[in-house]
Amino acid sequence: MTTLGTLIVSFFRNYLVNQKGYPQNTISSYSDCIKLLIAYSCDHLKVAIEKLDLFHFTDDLILDFLDHLENERENTIVTRNQRLAAIKTLFRFLALQDPTFIAVCERVCAISAKKTVHKVIESLEKDEVDAIFSAVKADTLWGARDLALLHLIYNTGARVQELVDLDLSDIRMEKPYQVLLTGKGQKQRVTPLFPETIASIQHYLRLREHSQLESKVLFVNSKGERITRFGIRYIIEKYADLTAKTIPSLKTKNVTPHTFRHTTALHMIQSGNEITVVAAWLGHADIKTTSIYVTINNEMKQKALEAFPPPKATQMKEPNEPLWHDPPILAFLNDISRQATLCGVEKKQSSTRSLQLSGHFT
């Protein structure tokens, strides 16, 4: 294996896993990015992969690669920026291993992420959430599972991977009801649960027990294995599509697991919760991430005000005489301003006449 290959293996095995503790999904994303970069570099530079060296990588090559992602692979700007972030992480690691690479690393890390169009965060109204829940037939094992999953995702605003990773031991079935969620960077948080959420989980587990389906995992698929991210997305989209037949507003919405996360955040803000509480509830490391929901809520309030007609006012006539006069101090200051203006005009006129007399103007 080449020196470059050895460094990349160390980057994934030692740095990302042992030092940074990144989750498997992030590591997989980084792996996809580095594979694309290596393949592009070999093709672009006409170099065999075993001959590819650390110093083949330059800031110009990285910029060409990013253009390739956008123009030829048709990646979105968001994906481009994610790839760039992964590359910067790799280059910082390489610079630590080989100090002669620091200058190249600095130039690559100076590459700016592209600005993206700010999209409106889509969320659900309370009646839409209720309608989706009502569409679930919880008298079967899988219907009960789906209802428990919907209750839990709306109650907690959990990320989809956080739901995937849940084990039975993460749920506290006694008061105070709560769930232990493991988020990004393996950070854990405890979130309280509604009695209704616990009731739906208990109902699901009773049906699962009758089916003799034993597992330490909370949400399982038809094979008895841990449910996947795609499985959860499929469940949510299925009930959203089913509900859209009776709730027209859902026809224009792309309802995903993350839509429920946005909905939970917005409904908590609308219920008067402090932004710091909502940030902790969602597991946001930076409160700036949560502040967008406050902005959305204010926009909704403004729209509500505009849609709310004001009372008809009595027509008011202007009085013949002013109802108030400047206080003496304001009148004094206004008079000074007027005098200064007049004085400036007179000086300008006098200066102009002097210049004309001296022959500077014809």
Catalytic residue list = 159, 184, 258, 261
The sign one gets for the Cα dihedral 127, 132, 136, 138 is negative
Spatial separation of the C-alpha atoms in residues 305 and 302, rounded to whole Å:
5
CB 195 within 8 A of CB 293: no
Residue with tokens 């219907």: 143
Spatial separation of the C-alpha atoms in residues 238 and 135, rounded to whole Å:
10
CB 237 within 8 A of CB 256: yes
Read off the tokens for 343: 């004085």
Closest CA to 41 of 50, 18, 275, 197: 50
- Give the side-chain half-sphere CA count within 13 A for 264: 25
Q: Pairing between strand 178-182 and 171-172? A: antiparallel
DSSP assignment of 302-359 equals: HHHHHHSPPPPPPP-PPPSS-S----HHHHHHHHHHHHHHHHHHHHHHHHHHHHHHTT
Closest CA to 152 of 136, 316, 139, 335: 136
Residue with tokens 């946001």: 284
Spatial separation of the C-alpha atoms in residues 11 and 97, rounded to whole Å:
10
Q: 182 in helix, strand or coil?
A: strand
